[in-house]
Structure 1
């Protein structure tokens, strides 16, 4: 992220290359389908960013990332998609909120 390029950030990859992404009233839509985000239960998703109601197509070689603290996150809504080669690792443990402490499962996606 451009705020401090030397500092690692933890963000959630939301959109992949070629996908159409939009955000309406705090909900994320991928290719016109609302993204179910159970990990945001009880978290405010309101944000006064620049994406607004517009739709973007994520360029080849890039991904769209969002922070789970949506109301206060510096993420792709502010600086746009990031290059895939900027990703240096993946989260493997959750420690907040306390009820959710544990090892994260590796997601699988249909091709």
Structure 2
């Protein structure tokens, strides 16, 4: 049986992990912007965070900046809502309900 692979970020100091996280964020965001993917500025850092976490990274954002960032994203999403979007949502509410319930079930099942 082969020995388990070491996670690439597990033995790095926290400050080095932050530098790597920012570098990966910049690169992934630039690539997503280059291919003109909508929401690249959100998806690039999200992908970087996922890569860092699955690689054994232990970087954690303090509560206050995290809450502020989530509030800003919520405001940006709310600002983009139009009456047409709300009408479409009203027409397709069963589909949205199924998606939300499926995500909740999958999240609960993967929690352990």
> Smaller-chain TM-score range?
under 0.3
Which has the larger helix fraction?
2
State the TM-score, normalizing by the size of structure 2. Answer: 0.22
Larger radius of gyration: 2
State the TM-score, normalizing by the size of structure 1. Answer: 0.22
